[in-house]
Structure 1
Amino acid sequence: MSDTVTLFNLSQVPAFIKSLTERGFPLRVRVMKARRSLDQNALFHMWCEEAAQFFVAMGKTHFASGAPMNKENVKANLKATFLGTEPREYIDLTTGEVRIQEEVRHTADLDKGEMCAFLTCIDRWAQEYGIPLTHPADSEYAQYMREQGEVA
């Protein structure tokens, strides 16, 4: 059985080392990048709302599937389009059967760079289809785009 331990700052290291001596080895360490920020997530949600409002204003009130054109459904479809899916393992708690099911990736699992790339995909898609999106000058995304020499 493996345990996952996440450390958020250096003050947690001594307790972690103590727990290592109790558990023993082997040990696998993974250094992760900073997760996507709340600022990036807020921008994504704002863009989903703006895209939904754009389509509704153009008379498209439902997706081809019949689902209503709203922020949540735009969000789900943008993630499916630009993030894709990944396998998730589930266990039927009554039968013990293990199932693998494809699920749309979650933005909470993205690091800042991945989230920025995702936002760039959405931004380009919106430009291609004439969907106006707000680009707050003080957003992390705008700052990143300026650093890359692109206009956000």
Structure 2
Amino acid sequence: MNGDLCEDARSVLVDFFDTYGKSTVVYIAVPGSDARSLDSYYSLEGVEVRDSIELRADLGYGWGFSIQPSAVTLSDDLYSLTIEGSDLHLWATAMHRVYRWGWIRFSVARDTALTRKLRNFDGAALARFYGEERRKGRRARLLSLCEDDGR
């Protein structure tokens, strides 16, 4: 199952950056970060699934992350993507954060004229992913993953 989840995470991360990344700022948050501490210009230079259990992404300009995902959640308005899991590593040229368990959230400014336009014209893949997750019972899936992990 983790291989499928890694591929889902890879696919929706690519779709998120394809939708928003070329035209507006994509923000990143991780546990313990404040609203501005990780402000930078991110782009998705590459993303791969390793050994069917780990997602690894190059965010450009020396930034990157890896995670063993357990849940992928796209917000109802399609402006925020959260990947939750274990062994989260976030790095830049002068920093490396490690979380045994954590999440990484990608977001854009909510409901501005530009992000609305991008979502409406380029967000079809995000909308499909969101619809599929709703049909699969995203909440039940998240609860099941947490129970499997002993939480």
Q: Which is richer in helix?
A: 1
Q: TM-score scaled to structure 2, two decimals? A: 0.29
Larger Rg: 1
Q: TM-score scaled to structure 1, two decimals? A: 0.29
